[in-house]
């Protein structure tokens, strides 16, 4: 390459001192470390605050065991429901343009922006709104024998409303990353749209489905506000681990609250590992 | 036989207007044209993947304009191949047969037959990431042929191959077409390729489609 001789600024920089990217990487690491340090410090503080014997003692409490049981069952139920909705919803948003699509997208994003307490309150009002003498909760309880409010189904529903939004977003990104041409070709080979979805798109989305399930599970696991408002926090009935922390703390039993918190951290860590290994857009 | 009468297709802002074409039964036809003339859009419309706004499409004298893509009996090999990820060559070729609920034994026999025809017998257990470009191309052709389509549509089937693989695939395509006798429409940019393959040649230019005699001047 010949040097610029036109009198303009030189094309090649006149290097007198080699430049370095070290400062850039130090900057990146420093800012990232602030957050990592904060989270690790919080966890270490929790560990220092309690002891193994305290954790074991807390775990042996009947109420805590019931809360662990309900947490696992409700999170799993909410996640399964979320996946059922998120797969078709994510596919619909990813593949088709239709009137009202923006409305669907906006509604799916509502749980991201609404304060959790508002979701719980809205559910409570929905189930108890009197419409010309008819009330959803009363109809479910009296006519179908299946009450929801302040019972375990309320826990699942409160978790589902929030978790499903996260699952939908994960599934939409998953389908966005799958080439739709394969489904088109499948249709020329004899598939209906449903068959091209179930036989071509769905097998390719398996990692995303696992990731969406894990995200929904993790989100349900951490839910507190809507559960408190819509399901209450009745011991042995609607108590999940997140409400256990609140109940123990509210009666001044801080060491038990911290012990339960550490159990939650352990479970959440396991879910994070599943998300990372499941891969997919949410796992990376 | 493929017959288009005054066909109009719109996809986004792109419009193909008033296209007519008649590919005779059992012939090998090529469709040429510059980039952006709508060759692929036209082929996808025939396959049922693009919405036809006017006109008709007939295959073997049956109007299939409003039929679902899967009911048209067209074997389609897209330009971007699109072999299904994760499926073995056997499963790719068997795919249209499983959709049509062929008995297992018949599927196995037909896959073997197609594999012999396309020299894929040794590759039946391989997945797409274990195949070369030419091999993937043959798998896509085998998948399109396995269900004995009424017509075969090839969208630039050798454009991504090196010269040797291109020659081999073209020879194979011509020999298969002669053996099977399936009416074939083949999109290509290459004048020599069209000359070598075609019984009938069509050119699309400025939205107008015309049949070219073999002595017609090449397009530029």
In order of their start, the domains of chain B are 2-212 (3.40.50.300)
CATH superfamily, with its number, for domain A53-283: MetI-like (1.10.3720.10)
Rounded to two decimals, what is the model's pTM? 0.85
The total number of residues written for chain A in this structure: 284
Q: Is A122 on the interface with B (CB under 8 A)?
A: no
CB distance A203 to A255 below 8 Å: no
Q: How many residues does chain B have?
A: 220
CB proximity A247 to B under 8 Å: no
Distances in Å between the Cα of B176 and the Cα atoms of A141, A150, A274, B193 are 69, 70, 49, 16
Q: Cβ separation of B70 and A189 shorter than 8 Å?
A: yes
Judge contact between A77 and A85, C-beta under 8 A.
Answer: no
Which residues in chain A touch residue B95, judged by CB atoms under 8 angstroms apart? 186, 189, 199
Inter-chain CB proximity A187 and B144 less than 8 Å: no
- Measure CA of the first residue to CA of the last residue in chain A; give whole Å: 42
CB distance from B55 to chain A under 8 Å?
Answer: no
Q: In terms of CA atoms, which chain B residue is nearest residue A179?
A: B82
Question: Can you tell me the distance from the alpha carbon of B18 to that of B12, in angstroms, rounded to the nearest whole number?
Answer: 17
* CA A101 vs CA A96, A107, A163, A177, B152: distances in Å: 9, 10, 21, 19, 36
pLDDT tens-digit profile, chain B (220 residues)? 899 999 999 887 788 888 899 999 999 999 998 888 889 999 999 999 998 999 999 999 999 999 999 999 999 999 887 799 989 999 999 999 999 999 999 999 999 999 999 999 999 999 999 999 889 999 999 999 999 999 999 999 888 788 888 888 899 899 888 888 899 999 998 888 888 899 999 998 877 787 766 444 443 3
Q: CB neighbours of B143 closer than 8 A, spacing ≥ 6?
A: A189, B83, B92, B93, B95, B96
- A103-115: pLDDT as tens digits: 999 999 999 999 9
Domain positions in chain A are 21-50, 53-283
From B218's Cα to the closest Cα of chain A, the distance in A is: 32
Residues in A 201-230 with any Cβ partner in B closer than 8 A: 203-204
Is B82 touching A (CB cutoff 8 A)?
A: yes
Contact A188 B47 (CB under 8 A): yes
- Please state the ipTM of this predicted complex: 0.90
Q: Exposed e or buried b for every residue in A108-117, given b needs 16+ CB within 10 A?
A: beebeebebe
B69, B84, B100 ranked by CB distance to A188: nearest: B69
Q: Cα distance from B84 to chain A (closest Cα, Å)?
A: 6
Conformational region of residue A132, where left means phi above 0, alpha means psi within -120 to 50, and beta covers everything else: left
CA nearest neighbour of B33 among B199, B185, B177, B215 = B185
Total CB pairs under 8 A between chain A and B? 57
Q: Pick from B30, B45, B70: which is nearest to B156 by CA?
A: B30
Q: What is the pLDDT of residues B127-184, one digit of tens each?
A: 999 999 889 999 999 999 999 999 999 999 888 788 888 888 899 899 888 888 899 9
Note whether B47 contacts A: Cβ–Cβ < 8 A.
yes
């Amino acid at each position: 390459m010949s040097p610029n001789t036109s009198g303009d600024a030189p094309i090649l920089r006149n290097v007198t001192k080699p430049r370095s990217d070290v400062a850039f990487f130090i900057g990146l690491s420093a800012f990232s470390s602030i957050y990592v340090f904060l989270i690790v410090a919080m966890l270490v503080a929790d560990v220092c605050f309690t002891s193994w014997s305290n954790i074991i003692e807390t775990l042996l409490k009947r109420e805590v065991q019931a809360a662990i049981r309900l947490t696992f069952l409700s999170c799993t139920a909410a996640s399964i429901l979320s996946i059922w909705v998120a797969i078709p919803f994510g596919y619909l948003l990813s593949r088709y343009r239709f009137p009202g699509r923006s409305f669907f997208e906006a509604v799916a994003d509502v749980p991201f922006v609404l304060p959790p307490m508002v979701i719980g309150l809205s559910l409570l009002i929905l189930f108890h709104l009197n419409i010309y003498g008819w009330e959803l909760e009363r109809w479910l309880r009296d006519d179908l024998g299946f009450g929801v409010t302040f019972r375990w189904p309320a826990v699942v529903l409160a978790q589902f409303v929030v978790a499903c939004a996260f699952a939908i977003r994960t599934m939409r990104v998953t389908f966005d990353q799958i080439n739709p041409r394969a489904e088109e070709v499948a249709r020329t080979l004899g598939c209906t749209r449903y068959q091209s979805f179930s036989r071509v798109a769905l097998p390719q989305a398996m990692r995303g489905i696992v990731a969406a399930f894990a995200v929904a599970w993790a989100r349900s696991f951490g839910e507190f506000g809507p559960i408190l408002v819509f399901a209450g926090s009745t011991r042995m009935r609607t108590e999940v681990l997140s409400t256990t922390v609140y109940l123990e703390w509210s009666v001044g039993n801080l060491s038990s609250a911290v012990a339960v918190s550490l159990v939650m951290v352990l479970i959440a860590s396991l879910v994070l590992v599943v998300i990372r290994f499941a891969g997919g857009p949410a796992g990376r | 036989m493929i017959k288009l009468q005054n066909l109009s297709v719109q996809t986004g802002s792109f419009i193909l207007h008033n296209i007519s074409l008649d590919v005779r039964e059992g012939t090998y036809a090529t469709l040429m044209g510059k980039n952006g003339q709508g060759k692929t859009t036209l082929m996808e419309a025939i396959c049922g993947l693009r919405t036809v706004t006017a006109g008709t499409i007939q295959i073997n004298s049956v109007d299939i304009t409003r039929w679902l893509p899967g009911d048209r009996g067209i074997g389609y090999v897209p330009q971007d191949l699109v072999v299904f990820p994760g499926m073995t060559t056997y499963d790719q070729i068997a795919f249209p047969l499983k959709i049509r609920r062929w008995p297992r034994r018949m599927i196995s026999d037909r896959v073997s037959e197609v594999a012999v025809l396309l020299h894929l017998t040794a590759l039946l257990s391989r997945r797409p990431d274990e195949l070369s470009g030419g091999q993937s191309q043959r798998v896509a052709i085998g998948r399109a042929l396995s269900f004995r389509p009424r017509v075969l549509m090839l969208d630039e089937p050798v454009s991504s191959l090196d010269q040797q693989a291109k020659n081999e695939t073209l020879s194979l395509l011509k020999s298969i077409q002669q053996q099977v006798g399936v009416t074939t429409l083949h999109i290509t940019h290459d004048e020599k390729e069209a000359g070598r393959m075609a019984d009938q040649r069509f050119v699309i230019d400025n939205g107008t489609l015309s049949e070219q005699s073999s002595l017609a001047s090449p397009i530029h």
